[in-house]
Structure 1
Amino acid sequence: MINWIREKFKHSLDSKLLFEEAIKCYKIEAFRASLLFSYLGFLNYIKEMIIAGKKPAHIDNSRWDKIIRTLNDENFWEDRVFTELTNSSNTAIFKFNDSIKEQIKYWKGRRNDCAHFKDNEINFHHTEMFWSFLKSNLSKISLEGSKQNLLNKFCDFFDRTKTSINASPDILINEIENAVEYSDLKDFFTSLNNIQIIGSGYYVPDEDKQNVFFRILSEIKNKRIINELVFFIKNQAQNYDLKFVIEFPISINYLNYNQVDIRNIWKVRVWMLGHAKYNILLALIRNNKIPAQETEEFYKDIFKNFNQTGYQNLNLDDNSKKVMFDNNTFNNVAYEIMFVEGNIYTKDYNYINSKEELITLLFLYKDINEVMVEGLKKMVENGIRPYWLQDSLTKLFNENENKKNKILQIAATLNCEQSFYDYFQLN
């Protein structure tokens, strides 16, 4: 707690000195003096906040001027700060709940016990409790109201003329728990999401806000805050939650999807997205979200819906493709549909081309057998010319010596004609 006190008040010279005295007194067990210095350090901090702050819109100029004059009077400033902190009228300059105001009144009473050496006992726990009160509530005390004050800080954070793109939002994120009432969390997240990015350059500015949300999910331990943020993310329009998972795949573990939600994602929702949909499917696989009994259906849906016409390829790196498709379930699905059922030589070139990337992955990850080579043989013999598949398999066979030798070995047993070898440049 002492480290927090020193860090919190290090930028206020007078408050820093008062709290250092409080810490010295605490260490030598002069607890009355320690609590008194702590209370004065707190009030001095609030005094400086008011003097440096802007007049709230609902406060008359004459009242504001009078407050500032009184705060600059060494004989009356302490009483004025206490009065303004505990003011619950329409002219109050602070907006925070009455519970905090009552606690401030309580600590004013303990301050008087210290200053006037009254009979009430003051022990080490009084100082520690007061410091705990400050840690829990200081961020809620601001001229704009704690929630709005924190939003103002986020506005500055998202203003790239004021804050570097490499700056961390962690300090602001850590204020949420103490600065925002639970009942205000929904409005807070909505307002945070609506903040405009200034001077963002050429990168996508929404990623900044998504990054803040992800850091809240992954770093804050308060369940109520997390639950409110999850509810907010999942109830935004235009598949916001799935786009969030695309940006931060591990977040699929934070968003509390049940099995019905997961099934709806891969059966329906993901196919409404663009090429990045395969990142969602990959996140489901990597995080073991597909029940074993639904795995085959999952891969059948991928194969059925996959259509790379219009450049709707997988758009995954080689390692991701391996994670997604180097498994017996996918191999069996693609193998059954294209070769056992004979789609490779009965469908037209448009259909075959639309599945080219998946067929090529099948040849890459599965041991090539006679059924597969015979399927290609019949495709060539039937005069089907899926040029994408021709190019990709030709490249695969000629860059992978083992695959090429396997094809040649099986082709010889099937008595493939020269046109087959020419087609895939296997001469």
Structure 2
Amino acid sequence: MRIKFEEWLIDQEIGIGANDLFEESIICYKASAYRAALLFSFLGFQTIIKQRIINSKPANDYQDGEWNQLKKDLLNDDKWDKLIIEIIQNKKKPIFNITEDLREQYSFWKNRRNDCAHAKGNAVSYPHVEGFWLFIQSNLAKFVVNGGMKFILQEIRNHFDPARTPAETAIEPIIKQIPFSIDKVDYKEFLLELKDFSLAQHSKSAYLMIDKNIAEMWYQLFKLPENYFVELVDFLVKDHSFCLTIIRRKPEMVKYFNNKETFIRMLWKKDLSRLDDYKVFIELLRHNLIPESQLNESFEHIFSILETPFFDEDSWWLVMSGGVNDLDKMVLLDKGFFTKFNEIAFEGEKIAYNFNWGNRNKELVIYYINEFGLNETLVTAINKALTSSNPPFKLRDELSYFYKNNQQTLELHIEISEKLSLKVPKLLSGLLAE
């Protein structure tokens, strides 16, 4: 059975040498050899620090020659362990951007290691091993040459490098390191760097403005502690264009802006304009982000601005984006979306009297018929749309295709028309199967 520290190690890139030492430590821990477990764990930590220095460019205030000599000394088996201790404790010319408190914690564990190595009188048991493992998990990301922010950014770059990391690899382990690696005062600078990286990665496709994994990374940032969360929301709200880009790739992200009323209104009133923006709009409704007093206004606006392939079950576009699922339908029903559409499109006969409006909502008209069936109001409005002097030709073609492939619905439409003494449009009567 794996212990938590073993599970944590799986997600870390710490090198074979250090990993072997930690595995020895875990074996000793499970065998209740706690002194050996702590000793091997400390050596594993020291090995990680050594490798990070060897693989890094010169730290601030270090010349190339001085840095190369330091790396050479770290390759000396007789010097490296003592040298790592001196490096971490060096305040005058630090390599790591760590606090005095963290140095003191490190010194404490170094002394406990010495207790184990030199068989001193202090007792060492499982709480010491587990405590040191917690120290490693909480602080390892801070022991990075020139500071933790650069380390996290490099980890992210490596994550999105397909030569290093499979595309389906979860980014959560990296994101979870942020509170331990980046001071709150530096978080905005980190977000700026991350935004630049994200924009450099986005796709050129009109409908894939940014890679879905990039959007997922930003989504995971919302799960950090509250002080980081607040900073993130404020940062994104101020950069409206970038925020819209990632929201489109991860629409459920909008729930985190629940206290930004102006931003939310601008989102549905000003920004939604693309074929896939119905996904964002439904998320706004799902999380009650549009006040009830503004719902009808929002529906009228969306009907006037968005095209509706989102509602077409046969659309090529759905292969890429998905469409209306049962939960979406429940949200739209609950909020009165379809009631308002019926009121405008059929009772108000806007599909007949507004050419652009009818064409824009053609898939939604078909979806409504499929979901709720025909009635006298619908049939009257559809007949007027098909027989008007300037019929919405895209809607006409959509209705023609639908009725041709749904003969029972077509027969019902003709039956209702005759009941109301309405002239059946030639387009429809000509579609009856012989």
If the TM-score is normalised by the length of the shorter chain, which range does it land in?
A: 0.7 to 0.9
From 380, 389, 397, the counterpart of 1:391:
397
Match of 1:181 in 2: 183
| Superposition pairs of residues 123-134 of structure 1, within 5 angstroms | 123-134=125-136
Match of 2:171 in 1: 169
Which has the larger displacement, 98-107 or 3-12?
A: 3-12
Shift of 1:412: 1.9
The one-letter amino acid paired with 1:104 is Y
Distance in 2 (alpha carbons) for counterparts of 1:131 and 1:159: 30
The one-letter amino acid paired with 1:269 is K
Match of 1:101 in 2: 103
Change (3 A) 1:353 1:57: same
The one-letter amino acid paired with 2:90 is N
1:415 is paired with a residue of what secondary structure?
coil
Instruction: Indicate conservation of the 8 Å contact 1:150/1:179, yes or no.
Output: yes
Q: What TM-score results when the alignment is normalised by the length of structure 2?
A: 0.77
Instruction: Indicate conservation of the 8 Å contact 1:139/1:179, yes or no.
Output: yes
Instruction: Indicate conservation of the 8 Å contact 1:137/1:179, yes or no.
Output: yes
Structure 1 residue runs without a partner (length 5+): none
Instruction: Indicate conservation of the 8 Å contact 1:158/1:197, yes or no.
Output: no
| Superposition pairs of residues 399-418 of structure 1, within 5 angstroms | 399-417=405-423
Match of 1:336 in 2: 343
Distance in 1 (alpha carbons) for counterparts of 2:25 and 2:385: 87
Distance in 1 (alpha carbons) for counterparts of 2:172 and 2:354: 56
Distance in 1 (alpha carbons) for counterparts of 2:71 and 2:382: 87
| Superposition pairs of residues 130-169 of structure 1, within 5 angstroms | 130-160=132-162, 162-169=164-171
Change (3 A) 1:209 1:76: same
The one-letter amino acid paired with 2:38 is L
Distance in 1 (alpha carbons) for counterparts of 2:345 and 2:393: 17
Match of 1:193 in 2: 195
Change (3 A) 1:111 1:301: same
Structure 2 residue runs without a partner (length 5+): 314-322
| Superposition pairs of residues 369-388 of structure 1, within 5 angstroms | 369-377=375-383, 383-388=389-394
Instruction: Indicate conservation of the 8 Å contact 2:312/2:367, yes or no.
Output: no
Match of 2:324 in 1: 320
Larger Rg: 1
Distance in 2 (alpha carbons) for counterparts of 1:381 and 1:5: 69
Distance in 2 (alpha carbons) for counterparts of 1:397 and 1:27: 71
Instruction: Indicate conservation of the 8 Å contact 1:306/1:355, yes or no.
Output: no
Q: What TM-score results when the alignment is normalised by the length of structure 1?
A: 0.79
Shift of 1:331: 4.4
Are 2:56 and 1:50 equivalent residues in the alignment? no
1:194 is paired with a residue of what secondary structure?
helix
Distance in 1 (alpha carbons) for counterparts of 2:182 and 2:407: 63
Question: Alpha-carbon deviations, 1:124-143, whole Å to 9, x = none?
Answer: 32222222211211121122
Distance in 1 (alpha carbons) for counterparts of 2:351 and 2:29: 82
Q: Percent identity?
A: 24
Question: Alpha-carbon deviations, 1:236-259, whole Å to 9, x = none?
Answer: 231x33332321232233x14138
Change (3 A) 1:351 1:245: closer
2:197 is paired with a residue of what secondary structure?
coil
Change (3 A) 1:77 1:209: same
The count of corresponding residues between Structure 1 and Structure 2 is 412
Shift of 1:59: 0.3
Are 2:90 and 1:84 equivalent residues in the alignment? no
Instruction: Indicate conservation of the 8 Å contact 2:35/2:116, yes or no.
Output: yes
Instruction: Indicate conservation of the 8 Å contact 1:156/1:162, yes or no.
Output: yes
Shift of 1:25: 4.9
Are 2:236 and 1:233 equivalent residues in the alignment? yes
Question: Alpha-carbon deviations, 1:215-255, whole Å to 9, x = none?
Answer: 444xx5644444443443333231x33332321232233x1
The one-letter amino acid paired with 2:276 is A
Change (3 A) 1:59 1:398: same
Change (3 A) 1:408 1:75: closer
Change (3 A) 1:424 1:199: same
The one-letter amino acid paired with 1:237 is H
From 68, 71, 77, the counterpart of 2:71:
68
Distance in 2 (alpha carbons) for counterparts of 1:22 and 1:170: 26
| Superposition pairs of residues 9-48 of structure 1, within 5 angstroms | 11-13=15-17, 15-16=18-19, 18-19=21-22, 22-23=25-26, 25-27=28-30, 29-48=32-51
Distance in 2 (alpha carbons) for counterparts of 1:360 and 1:177: 50
The one-letter amino acid paired with 2:43 is L
Distance in 2 (alpha carbons) for counterparts of 1:23 and 1:367: 66
Distance in 2 (alpha carbons) for counterparts of 1:387 and 1:17: 71
Distance in 2 (alpha carbons) for counterparts of 1:384 and 1:6: 69
Shift of 1:152: 1.8
Match of 2:429 in 1: 425
